[in-house]
Amino acid sequence: MYKKNIKIKLKRTLTPVFVSLGVLVIWEFIVSITNYPEYLLPRPIVIFSALIANFNSLLYHTGITLFEAMVGFVIANILAFFIAVIFTHSKTIEAGFHPFVIALQTTPIIAMAPLLVLWFGSDIGSKIAAAALVSFFPTIVNGVKGLETIDEEALDLFKSFSATRRQIFAKLRLPNSLPFFFQALKTSAALSVIGAIVGEFVGANRGIGYIILTSTYHMETVKMFTAIIMSAVAGMLFFGIVSIIEKKIVFWQKF
Alpha carbon separation from 255 to 10, 184, 189, 252 (Å, rounded): 18, 15, 18, 9
Q: Which of 157, 219, 241, 245 binds other proteins (CB under 8 A)?
A: 157
Q: Which of 172, 191, 204, 222 binds other proteins (CB under 8 A)?
A: 172
For the bound state, the minimum distance from the C-beta of residue 159 to other proteins, rounded and expressed in Å, comes to 6
Q: Which is nearer to other proteins, 95 or 154 (CB)?
A: 154
Segment near other proteins (CB under 8 A), from 74-82, 127-135, 136-144, 169-177? 169-177
Q: Which of 163, 228, 229, 236 binds other proteins (CB under 8 A)?
A: 163
Q: Which of 97, 158, 169, 239 binds other proteins (CB under 8 A)?
A: 158
Residue 254 binds other proteins, judged by CB under 8 A: yes
Q: Which of 49, 171, 240, 245 binds other proteins (CB under 8 A)?
A: 171
For the bound state, the minimum distance from the C-beta of residue 230 to other proteins, rounded and expressed in Å, comes to 37
Are the beta carbons of 158 and 175 closer than 8 angstroms?
Answer: no
Nearest to 194 by CA among 28, 73, 37, 27: 73
What lies within 8 Å, CB to CB, of 65 at 6+ separation is: 127, 193, 196, 197, 200, 207, 208, 209, 231, 234
Taking the CA atoms of the chain, what radius of gyration do you get in angstroms? 23
Half-sphere exposure of 203 (CA within 13 A, CB side): 12
88/223 Cα distance (integer angstroms): 48
Residue 247 binds other proteins, judged by CB under 8 A: no
**Residues in the site for other proteins, rule: CB under 8 A?**
151, 153-154, 156-163, 167, 171-172, 175, 178, 251-254
